[in-house]
Structure 1
């Protein structure tokens, strides 16, 4: 609203120019345009009546028409100051009063009261549908004024015939001009609305054409997307098949390398042979770890990673991890230890394999980058939620540490603390990335605190279900197994790879196991027809008949003993779907190549006790 009130804007309003007040345009709205036009016209009519009654002094109404003229001139200025509704109501009121006064003066014969009809129309033009109450009030004023003329007796004022004629023609002229002005204004807005409607229809037509073109493009994009999706599905399938093949082909020779290395370490090697054998063993396990990292990274990228929810003993899992790194730590002169807080439940429900993988990666890194001192695992209870617990695993070392600017990037794929680190210590840079993703996919987190030259501490936080301590453990104690535990066990080995046959034979001979070797599923069925075996070690990928089909055929045999014989799969594929197929085919258990001799011995021993 303007802070100043000025009479200089009257001519601008009369000429229909845009009047701006604080960036608002006054006069462009329909109601304000009608108000301006009618106000100035009625001001002119009031001046005419002023002159007419001034000439004819028989009726003293000069004061009234003077006030009317001033009022009609001030009404547009009042609207300009922001009092639009008040200005509109005043315009209607003054018009009604003028009609009442003139009708009283000239009587019913002059039919001046007919002007109440355009006065009611004026209310309709001034107020839009959003101001229906004010519109009805304006119309009501005109109706009330009309009834005043009929039911209130005014004093008749005599007027000369010439004066009466002048006034009558002025009134008639004013009536015609007022009616023309109001409805001409309405007509202009009607034409403008029609033009806008035509423009909108043309715009709608253009938009429909554009929409049609975009719809055609969208359909083309959808078709291209469907083709791309099919290609992606084929590519994903080919990738999965490639990973399965690579896993099998690489793990098969790795089984021979690590198996033979294990046998060499147990054959009391000479002192000069110990170091080369340890190097061979370490290198083989490192290579296997790299292969596992690449496979896991690919599975995570493809969204095929899945997690188990099984009960496991935390202390036993930690001890297995420590034992797996004890020789490496001893060779480097590093002390390794683990501390489990008493508040942490002994039995947890989660995925022990993935937890082991995360801790192995962090332990391996800690040992790799530590030349002296110690590596320590501390396990604390962060939160007890009743059925669940939040556990923190902190692995700290006294190694080379990490620069502050590199701390945030070490969890990125194929990233290490520096190029110098990669040259000195090797590795793909995937271990931490996989650990972080495995933790986050289980609703956990991983972060690090480190200073250059001061060592590092990696924190892993995971949520587990609470397990229940078993009264009797079904798992066998490794201390119960000795060199005579498997004596006399009859094993049928189905393996087409000659090198792996020899590796397996060496282990089984040490365990005093009687063994027969066959190369495919057909020979398995033939051997079972000739001899009764206690256990079958079944390779999955063999010529003529693979391990899956051979197992299915065995489970259909009539002889109940042979039909229910324990079958342990020997698989070089580490993929979860392969393991699911193993159990779906009817096998009892599986051992992943390269196999852990203790794990295989444990499984064979468990079947001798059944």
Structure 2
């Protein structure tokens, strides 16, 4: 970033120097050139209001370049006006004054009274900051006179605002409020949001000066609302500073301090931006000085070369001696070349061996990926039976205790699926193929589900779980709930595993909340066996545990903490460990979430809207090779009065669709004989209307398009959630009913 700013400012200085001395004949300007300059200057002015000073500088440079190329004095002066605003925001008031005076000079010569009124207004604002109050008053009154004489009503509101700010600087709050009240209707009529916000915040200052804190608070709230909505950081900074003074006057010192901190944080960020740009400008000037030094050095070098010519004869003698020495070196180089050739041959052989080893490693990696892809289906298919049977049992009116256990079983099944995905993700992490989901969820409920699932394990080891959740954390967050659960399950499960007859604390605290971003701190602490300082460095590596004795005593794969570390890295965080052997361990990490309204599909809510009458007596073909999965899917459908038929493979499915009429097909993908994709392709050759939904255990990250391209209407991943299953089923049947 600093390099770009340095380039922009250096380019700007070079353009100004070049075109100021060039004598280019005046040419006619077309509307396209003027529109281009105007567009750059409008963007630059808006960027200044939003404190995007780097972007503003870039646009000013573009406008200045076009204006100078076309020798357009009016737009050159207009560029100077915007540049003066930029220097004013940077705090370089002397440069700002020079730029606006250059603009005024050109506009007076060109007799452009509209732009001159605008320049006088800017000069009045700059002079106020320079405490040249008489100059400021004269400039602003001149601007107001020009607007009245030439019927330029658009500038009158901002001029009144600046007259109010001038009166405020002169400790005349009553006069300031008169100017603000006079200018507000004109600013409203032209939708000047920035000046409206500026007027309100300065009017609030005047009210506070008149000992009217309640009125000042209300007016300041209006300014802050515009500052937030239109993203004016300078306005927001001033509002929070004024809030601090208001609450201090009301003796509400804690609230006053909070607002002062917020003001200081915004001000610090603005100051850092300004300081960086000013530093780069100084750097650009230093670069010019360095160029001058380089020229002086080259001149000195030329003088030395002239002196060396006088030693020509001596040089000739030395050259002869050098040739003699080089001749002797030639023989030595010949021998060295022979040695180098042998070394190159050896290196080439080694390089060939390395290439072969690389190819072997790549083939091994491909085999591993293929193995994991194949085993994914085999691991997920039995999980479909677990989640499906759990759903059926939950619908058969279990007792409260049974319901709690079934909910834990359901959550554990989902966690087992996520664990399988996690192990597969370890393979993807090296290739940076794992992606973070971004969905809305309730963090407190999510952690409660984790604790319910792990409650029995804790009870078996006589451990007590203590859950502390900061009430200031928003209810709805946007992030990756599954990966958060995986991290917490691994860490809490690890603490339960290595603690006996002890306590485990799970704490979630709010660090800060900035606009729609929330920063949270998580800590999982136990008073178990602890980890030695020596092992703390390696405990997060794959397949690593504290010792062989620990592995034999407590079991496990040693993957848990490695998965935690990798998952937190994906979420731009890192795990920290505080532990002492025999006294317990404490794991800490921070996470950032968005606080937004949930706009993703909530299948639980969608399922409540389902008209189950649409599905009664509908004839559905279930294409599935696994008998348990057939049974579960059939039972779930028949409970809702749906007629089911079953095909054990794709060939049977194609034959049955030709012979019978179905309202919908649920198609598995991996089956003996032809696959579900091939079966769907064959069905589409003679029936393009029937809805076909893929009910599959394959990973859908990379091949969604393949399903839709081959004729599927929708996809339900296994093991599926019942709400999602019926929502998509109802949608497909309703669409078919509508089209027929």
Smaller-chain TM-score bracket: 0.5 to 0.7
Does residue 576 (structure 1) correspond to residue 701 (structure 2)? The answer is yes
Question: Which consecutive unaligned segments of at least 5 residues does structure 2 have?
Answer: 1-301, 736-740
- Report the TM-score, using the length of structure 2 for normalisation: 0.48
| Residues in 2 aligned to 1:477 and 1:515: alpha-carbon distance in whole angstroms | 26
Q: How does 1:8-87 map to 2 (within 5 A)?
A: none
| Residues in 1 aligned to 2:368 and 2:601: alpha-carbon distance in whole angstroms | 41
Equivalent in the alignment of 2:487: 358
Would the alpha carbon gap of residues 134 and 435 (structure 1) be closer, same or farther in structure 2, given more than 3 Å must change? same
Displacement after TM superposition at 1:430 (Å)? 0.8
Would the alpha carbon gap of residues 323 and 589 (structure 1) be closer, same or farther in structure 2, given more than 3 Å must change? farther
Equivalent position to 1:378, from 477, 500, 508: 508
Equivalent in the alignment of 2:285: none
Would the alpha carbon gap of residues 362 and 587 (structure 1) be closer, same or farther in structure 2, given more than 3 Å must change? farther
Displacement after TM superposition at 1:241 (Å)? 1.2
State whether residues 607 and 726 of structure 2, in contact with CA within 8 Å, keep that contact through their aligned partners in structure 1: no
Displacement after TM superposition at 1:433 (Å)? 0.4
Displacement after TM superposition at 1:436 (Å)? 0.7
| Residues in 1 aligned to 2:403 and 2:516: alpha-carbon distance in whole angstroms | 49
How many residues in Structure 1 have an aligned counterpart in Structure 2?
428
| Residues in 1 aligned to 2:526 and 2:700: alpha-carbon distance in whole angstroms | 32
Would the alpha carbon gap of residues 219 and 422 (structure 1) be closer, same or farther in structure 2, given more than 3 Å must change? closer
Displacement after TM superposition at 1:417 (Å)? 3.4
Query: Which secondary structure state, in structure 2, belongs to the residue aligned with residue 313 of structure 1?
Result: strand
Query: Which secondary structure state, in structure 2, belongs to the residue aligned with residue 203 of structure 1?
Result: helix
Equivalent position to 2:523, from 387, 394, 414: 394
Displacement after TM superposition at 1:428 (Å)? 0.9
Displacement after TM superposition at 1:570 (Å)? 1.7
Q: How does 1:84-163 map to 2 (within 5 A)?
A: none
Would the alpha carbon gap of residues 194 and 265 (structure 1) be closer, same or farther in structure 2, given more than 3 Å must change? same
Does residue 236 (structure 1) correspond to residue 365 (structure 2)? The answer is yes
State whether residues 445 and 462 of structure 1, in contact with CA within 8 Å, keep that contact through their aligned partners in structure 2: no
Would the alpha carbon gap of residues 499 and 224 (structure 1) be closer, same or farther in structure 2, given more than 3 Å must change? same
Displacement after TM superposition at 1:558 (Å)? 5.1
| Residues in 2 aligned to 1:277 and 1:290: alpha-carbon distance in whole angstroms | 19
Worse-superposed segment, 129-138 or 494-503 = 129-138
State whether residues 377 and 395 of structure 1, in contact with CA within 8 Å, keep that contact through their aligned partners in structure 2: yes
Would the alpha carbon gap of residues 353 and 138 (structure 1) be closer, same or farther in structure 2, given more than 3 Å must change? closer
Does residue 567 (structure 1) correspond to residue 696 (structure 2)? The answer is no
Equivalent in the alignment of 2:546: 417
Does residue 502 (structure 1) correspond to residue 631 (structure 2)? The answer is yes
Displacement after TM superposition at 1:382 (Å)? 4.6
Equivalent in the alignment of 1:447: 576
Would the alpha carbon gap of residues 419 and 528 (structure 1) be closer, same or farther in structure 2, given more than 3 Å must change? same
Equivalent in the alignment of 1:477: 605
Displacement after TM superposition at 1:414 (Å)? 1.0
Equivalent in the alignment of 1:342: 472
Equivalent position to 1:537, from 666, 679, 690: 666
Displacement after TM superposition at 1:541 (Å)? 0.8
Equivalent in the alignment of 1:144: none
RMSD (Å) for aligned C-alpha atoms: 4.8
| Residues in 2 aligned to 1:274 and 1:420: alpha-carbon distance in whole angstroms | 39
Displacement after TM superposition at 1:450 (Å)? 3.6
State whether residues 344 and 381 of structure 1, in contact with CA within 8 Å, keep that contact through their aligned partners in structure 2: no
Equivalent in the alignment of 2:56: none
Would the alpha carbon gap of residues 417 and 271 (structure 1) be closer, same or farther in structure 2, given more than 3 Å must change? farther
Would the alpha carbon gap of residues 217 and 588 (structure 1) be closer, same or farther in structure 2, given more than 3 Å must change? farther
- Report the TM-score, using the length of structure 1 for normalisation: 0.56
Question: Which consecutive unaligned segments of at least 5 residues does structure 1 have?
Answer: 1-128, 140-181
Does residue 314 (structure 1) correspond to residue 441 (structure 2)? The answer is yes
Does residue 305 (structure 1) correspond to residue 430 (structure 2)? The answer is no
Displacement after TM superposition at 1:567 (Å)? 0.7
Displacement after TM superposition at 1:518 (Å)? 0.9
| Residues in 1 aligned to 2:544 and 2:330: alpha-carbon distance in whole angstroms | 60
Would the alpha carbon gap of residues 498 and 309 (structure 1) be closer, same or farther in structure 2, given more than 3 Å must change? closer
Query: Which secondary structure state, in structure 2, belongs to the residue aligned with residue 234 of structure 1?
Result: helix
Does residue 429 (structure 1) correspond to residue 561 (structure 2)? The answer is no
C-alpha offsets along residues 147-192 of structure 1, whole Å, 9 cap, x if unaligned?
xxxxxxxxxxxxxxxxxxxxxxxxxxxxxxxxxxx99x997x6664
| Residues in 1 aligned to 2:328 and 2:671: alpha-carbon distance in whole angstroms | 77
More helix per residue: 1 or 2? 2
C-alpha offsets along residues 390-422 of structure 1, whole Å, 9 cap, x if unaligned?
544334456554444433332111122344443
Query: Which secondary structure state, in structure 1, belongs to the residue aligned with residue 604 of structure 2?
Result: coil
| Residues in 2 aligned to 1:332 and 1:478: alpha-carbon distance in whole angstroms | 36
Query: Which secondary structure state, in structure 1, belongs to the residue aligned with residue 372 of structure 2?
Result: helix
C-alpha offsets along residues 291-325 of structure 1, whole Å, 9 cap, x if unaligned?
44432323324x15321453x2131x552453254
Equivalent in the alignment of 1:461: 590
Equivalent in the alignment of 1:119: none
Q: How does 1:569-608 map to 2 (within 5 A)?
A: 569-571=695-697, 573-574=698-699, 576-577=701-702, 581-582=706-707, 585-587=710-712, 589-596=714-721, 600=725, 603-604=728-729
Query: Which secondary structure state, in structure 2, belongs to the residue aligned with residue 413 of structure 1?
Result: coil
Displacement after TM superposition at 1:242 (Å)? 0.9
Displacement after TM superposition at 1:448 (Å)? 2.6
Would the alpha carbon gap of residues 237 and 224 (structure 1) be closer, same or farther in structure 2, given more than 3 Å must change? same
Query: Which secondary structure state, in structure 1, belongs to the residue aligned with residue 575 of structure 2?
Result: strand
Equivalent in the alignment of 1:516: 645
Would the alpha carbon gap of residues 480 and 395 (structure 1) be closer, same or farther in structure 2, given more than 3 Å must change? farther
Would the alpha carbon gap of residues 475 and 267 (structure 1) be closer, same or farther in structure 2, given more than 3 Å must change? closer
Equivalent in the alignment of 2:149: none
State whether residues 255 and 594 of structure 1, in contact with CA within 8 Å, keep that contact through their aligned partners in structure 2: yes
Would the alpha carbon gap of residues 603 and 434 (structure 1) be closer, same or farther in structure 2, given more than 3 Å must change? farther
C-alpha offsets along residues 187-246 of structure 1, whole Å, 9 cap, x if unaligned?
7x6664333201332333344444444444454445444444443333222221111122
State whether residues 254 and 284 of structure 1, in contact with CA within 8 Å, keep that contact through their aligned partners in structure 2: yes
State whether residues 296 and 434 of structure 1, in contact with CA within 8 Å, keep that contact through their aligned partners in structure 2: no
C-alpha offsets along residues 17-56 of structure 1, whole Å, 9 cap, x if unaligned?
xxxxxxxxxxxxxxxxxxxxxxxxxxxxxxxxxxxxxxxx
Equivalent in the alignment of 1:175: none
Equivalent in the alignment of 1:172: none
| Residues in 2 aligned to 1:369 and 1:357: alpha-carbon distance in whole angstroms | 18
Would the alpha carbon gap of residues 137 and 481 (structure 1) be closer, same or farther in structure 2, given more than 3 Å must change? closer
Equivalent in the alignment of 1:323: 449
State whether residues 509 and 521 of structure 2, in contact with CA within 8 Å, keep that contact through their aligned partners in structure 1: yes
Q: Which has the higher contact order (CA 8 A, sep 6+)?
A: 1
Displacement after TM superposition at 1:133 (Å)? 6.5
Larger Rg: 1
Q: How does 1:196-235 map to 2 (within 5 A)?
A: 196-235=325-364
State whether residues 619 and 662 of structure 2, in contact with CA within 8 Å, keep that contact through their aligned partners in structure 1: yes
C-alpha offsets along residues 328-365 of structure 1, whole Å, 9 cap, x if unaligned?
415744546463653558342x5444334333333433
